[in-house]
Chains A and B, each alone.
Chain A
């Protein structure tokens, strides 16, 4: 620890970098146990909403970005993260909301996409943009891409309702933004 004197911060050394990496590893292990309250198979890491993990003025700071402006789970997620960090030994950790850059479904991890499909929710196909043509959505049940959109809006702000024309099962699709 530095004394309370005002000295210029030294350049980051190799040791500092490995400390930062070790901190991130520890924090990530804890965050892997914090589920999305509406899609509990996904952790906040899978969802890609954790945008920064670092120490700031002796306290742990975790930056989190909301998925949708109106997502009712935003506050619950932030509180769950703070509670898990506290229980994991990070007293007084701060969870800060970060708006920019805005979240995109592109940030859902590969592991997260697999978990979504296994859970019965079709993950966003590849990298996405509303400006481009829509990519085919595969049925999480039988894998067929012969699917039809029933509704652009689904049971939560992040989902749309689909039906598989092959196995005839309806399913949720994580909509692309």
Chain B
């Protein structure tokens, strides 16, 4: 008997790959939306409360679109609530970056900036994929994220080029989160299949554009681009940081205590 070729286990059916890809997009959006919702009433000023609430709403709306589509691709009679409330930590596929705790305002801004600098490029690429539904969702979402990123980029500049204290703290926030910025570009079989079969994003090109865009804003903020060191990862395989369980416990409490409760 001949040994199976290596690519037998990594080669993915187009539809399965698409479903997993859409689910990952949904998980990123939901988890970040939940984090932003947690920040309500903790903003430094009323205008930022509104901005954070708006971000959260956009993300939860986007998560619903992704989950709704994943449920259709899945075809097992699941719905968006199933994906949000009836899965455990190991089944969530979001990046570690988006699950990191809010911390202080600079931490929240740094997380938002680093993630959205990636997500915007990802959505711009996805708006051109051959799968019409995913392209439509991306074209819808890209406008919202462009608006968000413009806002958080202004905060990076204001904090970086601000007082000694704001500068010290935003630089520390960026340095602390930097190790989570490798994961979005570390593609796997799902990314490869979506690129091959649907014209999905080329992660190497995204990485170059991301570095350029991030450096432009940090330069304007008079901040150094942090050095690449060891990069954390595993969220896409369901291995999360210790913070994630607490987030799920709060987010899923009601559906766990009262299964299938409805408003």
Contacts and interface: CB of A to CB of B under 8 A. Distances in A.
A135 interface: no
Interface string A66-91: 10111110100000000000000000
A157 to B, nearest CB: 5
A70 B51 contact: no
A99 interface: yes
B150 A130 contact: yes
A175 interface: yes
The majority secondary structure among interface residues of chain A is: loop
Interface in B30-75: 46-47, 50-51, 53-54, 56-62, 64-65
Interface size class of B (residues with CB under 8 A): 20 to 34
Given A69-B140, A99-B136, A150-B47, A130 B59 contact: no
A152 B137 contact: no
Interface residues of A, number: 24
Nearest to B133: A99
Contacts of A18: none
Interface string B146-172: 110011000000000000000000000
Contacts of B137: 99
Contacts of A153: 47, 50-51, 53-54, 151
A79 B144 CA distance: 24
B135 interface: yes
A70 B58 contact: yes
B222 to A, nearest CB: 23
B212 interface: no
Interface in A3-34: none
A102 B143 contact: yes
Given A175-B147, A177-B143, A157 B58 contact: yes
B175 interface: no
A100 interface: yes
A72 B60 CA distance: 10
B54 A72 contact: no
A153 B148 CA distance: 10
Contacts of B150: 130, 152
A121 to B, nearest CB: 16
B136 A130 contact: no
Contact of A69 (B65, B132, B133, B151): B65
B225 interface: no
Nearest to A102: B140
Nearest to B56: A70
Contacts of B177: none
B141 interface: yes
A35 interface: no
Nearest to B149: A130
A64 interface: no
A130 B47 contact: no
A8 B60 CA distance: 45
Contacts of A103: 140
A101 interface: yes
Contacts of A130: 143, 146-147, 150
A70 B59 contact: yes
B151 A100 contact: no
B58 A99 contact: no
Contact of B62 (A69, A100, A101, A104): A69
Given A99-B65, A153-B47, A157-B57, A68 B136 contact: no
A141 interface: no
Interface of A: 66, 68-72, 74, 99-104, 130, 150-155, 157, 161, 175, 177
10 contacts: A68-B57, A69-B58, A70-B58, A71-B61, A99-B137, A99-B139, A99-B140, A130-B150, A150-B47, A153-B54
A-B residue pairs, 8 tightest by C-beta:
A70-B57, A70-B61, A69-B61, A100-B136, A151-B47, A99-B136, A153-B51, A153-B50
Given A69-B64, A100-B132, 8 more contacts: A69-B141, A70-B62, A100-B136, A102-B136, A130-B147, A152-B151, A153-B50, A155-B50
